[in-house]
């Protein structure tokens, strides 16, 4: 769970106010202790869960289509704040910043659970290979077990990553700043929410015009030439009419988008025609060509992931050794705590027997 995004400064505390009053020589009544801020409330959990369901469904489609997912912390923060700001006129208490943080934490956690369950890769791959569909209870149990394991790993690595290394964690910092800004001036959230709704409506209309019964918008606009006797449409060289792809490019940034564009040109504009000219494949279809192009792509992914680890092997080994030491210490503390609790229960039973 993300840490509370703000705190009272020394100038804002009741003790500071009392001290200033005493220093001026004026008598004042004791300042009552402020009420505990509302944080883990039912409405924050319910709203976060509802937003998380929508984000999770979107992530399943986005993950299968592009391979990218988004936790949606910023989206959940803005939507949950706007929802309670709109309902404020009907009587509910104001949505506190801490409740806003709880709502976005629940929503972001729910949004990535489909990825944790393997619905973006392993489960569909098994289905394409002819494996029988898994029952829902098996997938739920699998996801719950992995979720619990993730929480344990987070507790284990918190001291190293947050307390000691003080990593910036840009997503958490951006979410914290958004919560602080929204609750400082509620009008700040109006324009982003209007843009969010307008973009969602535009994407929905575009998708309906493209995939609906009328089919008024084409799936893609292909380049008007051929490469090695293969049309641009056969090589998928063109621009897809897809708001999802445009949004993915915005999310990954210009450098990432240019990297994907360059890799696509090399793969489908150079390697795929070369494979066809060399008669490596007899059927120059998208599925056949993908079956060959996936292997150099997979090799580059492994090299790009393992290379940096090997280049800094000494430091990574030290980090791994410290993490293992921390894990062993945590397990030892849990075992000692369980032993003490068991001894206390046994002592109480013996005392009761007397």
The model's pLDDT over 305-351, given as tens digits with 9 standing for 90+, comes to: 888 878 888 887 887 787 788 778 878 888 887 777 767 666 666 66
**297 contact partners, CB below 8 Å, separation of at least 6:** 263, 267
**pLDDT attached to residue 45:** 93
Question: For residues 198 and 343, what is the distance between their CA atoms, to the nearest angstrom?
Answer: 63
Average confidence (pLDDT) over 55-77: 90
At 331, list the tokens: 């397990």
The model's pLDDT over 88-112, given as tens digits with 9 standing for 90+, comes to: 766 667 788 999 999 999 999 999 9
Question: For residues 10 and 28, what is the distance between their CA atoms, to the nearest angstrom?
Answer: 20
Backbone phi and psi for residue 111, each to the nearest 5 degrees, phi listed first? -65, -30
Which helix (H) or strand (E) segment holds residue 264: the answer is helix 243-264
Min mean pLDDT across 1-15, 47-61, 64-78 is at 1-15
Following CA atoms 88, 93, 97, 98 in sequence, which dihedral angle do they give, to the nearest 10 degrees? -140
Above 80 in pLDDT, residue 1?
no
Residue pointed to by tokens 């883990």 = 40
Closest C-alpha to 96, from 215, 156, 217, 180: 180
Q: How high does pLDDT run on average in the chain?
A: 81
Is residue 5 within 8 Å of residue 180, measured between CB atoms? yes
Strand partners, 238: 222
Min mean pLDDT across 60-64, 157-161, 234-238 is at 157-161
Share of the chain above pLDDT 70, in %: 84
Question: For residues 108 and 100, what is the distance between their CA atoms, to the nearest angstrom?
Answer: 12
Kindly report the pTM of this predicted structure. 0.73
At 76, list the tokens: 């959940």
Helical axes 313-353 vs 136-158, angle rounded to 10°: 100
Is residue 210 within 8 Å of residue 200, measured between CB atoms? no
**End-to-end alpha-carbon separation of the chain, Å?**
46
The model's pLDDT over 197-207, given as tens digits with 9 standing for 90+, comes to: 999 999 999 99
Spell out the domain ranges in the chain: 38-184, 220-311
């Amino acid at each position: 769970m993300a840490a509370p995004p703000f705190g009272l400064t020394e100038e804002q505390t009741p003790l500071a106010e009392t001290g200033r009053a005493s220093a001026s020589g004026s008598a004042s009544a004791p300042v009552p202790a402020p009420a505990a801020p509302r944080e883990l409330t039912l409405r924050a959990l319910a709203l976060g869960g509802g937003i998380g369901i929508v984000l999770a469904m979107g992530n399943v489609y986005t993950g299968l289509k592009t391979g990218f997912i988004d936790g949606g912390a910023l989206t959940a923060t803005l939507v949950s704040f706007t929802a309670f700001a709109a309902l404020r006129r009907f009587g509910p208490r104001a949505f506190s910043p801490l409740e806003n943080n709880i709502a976005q934490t629940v929503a972001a956690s729910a949004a990535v659970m489909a990825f944790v369950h393997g619905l973006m890769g392993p489960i569909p791959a098994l289905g394409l290979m002819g494996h029988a569909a898994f029952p829902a209870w098996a997938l739920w149990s699998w996801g719950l077990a992995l979720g619990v394991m993730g929480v344990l790993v987070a507790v284990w690595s918190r001291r190293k990553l947050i307390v000691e290394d003080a990593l910036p964690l840009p997503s958490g910092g951006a979410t914290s700043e958004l919560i602080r800004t929204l609750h400082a001036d509620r009008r700040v959230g109006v324009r982003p929410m209007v843009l969010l709704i307008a973009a969602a409506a535009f994407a929905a209309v575009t998708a309906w015009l493209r995939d609906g019964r009328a089919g008024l918008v084409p799936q893609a606009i292909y380049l008007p030439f051929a490469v090695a006797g293969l049309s641009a449409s056969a090589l998928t060289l063109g621009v897809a009419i897809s708001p999802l792809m445009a949004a993915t490019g915005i999310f990954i940034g210009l450098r990432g988008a240019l990297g994907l564009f360059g890799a696509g040109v090399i793969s489908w504009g150079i390697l795929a025609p070369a494979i066809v000219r060399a008669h490596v494949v007899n059927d120059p279809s998208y599925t056949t060509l993908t079956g060959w192009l996936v292997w150099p792509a997979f090799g580059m992914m492994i090299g790009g992931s393992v290379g940096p680890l090997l280049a800094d092997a000494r430091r990574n080994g030290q980090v791994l050794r410290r993490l293992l030491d921390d894990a062993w210490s945590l397990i030892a503390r849990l075992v000692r705590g369980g032993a003490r609790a068991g001894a206390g229960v046994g002592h109480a039973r013996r005392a009761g027997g007397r």
